[in-house]
Amino acid sequence: MADSTQRAAGATLEIRGLTVAVDDKEILTGVDLTIRAGETHAIMGPNGSGKSTLAYAIAGHPKYTVTGGTVTLDGEDVLAMAVDERARAGVFLAMQYPVEVPGVSVSNFLRSAATAIRGEAPKLRLWVKEQKEAMGRLKMDPAFAERNVNEGFSGGEKKRHEILQLELLQPKIAVLDETDSGLDVDALRVVSEGVNRVRESGRTGVLLITHYTRILNYIRPDFVHVFVGGRIVDEGGAELADELEANGYTKYDGAGVPAGGRELPRGPVAPGAVTTA
Ligand SMILES: Nc1ncnc2c1ncn2[C@@H]1O[C@H](COP(=O)(O)OP(=O)(O)OP(=O)(O)O)[C@@H](O)[C@H]1O
Ligand SMILES: [Mg+2]
């Protein structure tokens, strides 16, 4: 965990009473979570509990309608920002299912993203070196730089490409949605090392969504949150992940899904916080 100096200097993402609907169906039922730079939080929960919905809502996916609550980054209203503004503000999402971008090479994509986020185009010569070194650390074949983004990439290659972006963009808050799924043992180690490098800078707060404690043996979380029925129903340290792996989620049956239907968000809902972003 980061020391207090790093924390004071770093960013804070605060989620309060967040409720989110998709196609009029309420998926998130009141999420409260604070992530500070240098901290690593793991979210574990059953399929369909809303973990990816939380990730998308933070990143600003238009299909996910925020119906209540607040998300702020260092006090700035994230929900009021467009998707690209969120990225520029320092919010990064590694998607569970990364999308293919035909016609755009990895190299062009990464340099455009770095330009948008850093506010100026990195000098070509320096950039080529920076990208090559980052790819080397992630054991990626340099030929990937010229391939179209995610087109024909294997599952594991897509995940490495997400972590390549993470390392090059150095966001304030990184949400990694099942970055470990489908990775072989060697790839899992390489990807975890990438996350740990970013984490050790102390400037990035990491939210790791996962089903497996396997990755948590490489990336030790400071906090583990249990996500059921669209909200956090339990919290603990790294040891909670081991307990979940042993016992599953049955002890939380019924949690998060209040009898009689929808429960109002617990946290205070700021006026104007409701948005259709
Ligand atoms: N675009 C969408 N259209 C319709 N339903 C959706 C959409 N996105 C999410 N949902 C529904 O919201 C619920 C939560 O989905 P979400 O993907 O957030 O779960 P998850 O916790 O990430 O699950 P998993 O562990 O399987 O990845 C599911 O019932 C899902 O079908
Ligand atoms: Mg998911």
How do residues 147-169 score in pLDDT, each as one tens digit? 999 999 999 999 999 999 999 99
Nearest ligand 1 atom, CA 49:
21
- DSSP letter string over 211-277? S-HHHHHHS--SEEEEEETTEEEEEE-HHHHHHHHHHTTGGGTTTTS-TTS----SS---TT-----
**pLDDT for res 123:** 94
The mean pLDDT of 204-227, rounded to a whole number, is 96
What is d(CA 139, CA 232) in angstroms, rounded to the nearest whole number? 36
- Residue ID of nearest Cα to ligand 1 atom 25: 47
Largest Cα–Cα distance in the chain? Answer: 61
What is d(CA 202, CA 75) in angstroms, rounded to the nearest whole number? 19
Contact between 249 and 226 (Cβ < 8 Å): yes
- If you search the block for the tokens 């489908």, which residue do you land on? 182
What is d(CA 122, CA 30) in angstroms, rounded to the nearest whole number? 41
pLDDT in tens, 241-269: 999 999 999 999 877 654 444 443 443 33
Q: Report the mean per-residue pLDDT for the chain.
A: 89
pTM for the full model?
A: 0.88
Query: Ligand 1 center to residue 52 CA distance, Å?
Result: 7
pLDDT at 114 exceeding the cut of 90: yes
Q: Mutation test of ligand 1: which of 19, 29, 53, 96 has the most ligand atoms closer than 8 Å to its C-beta?
A: 53
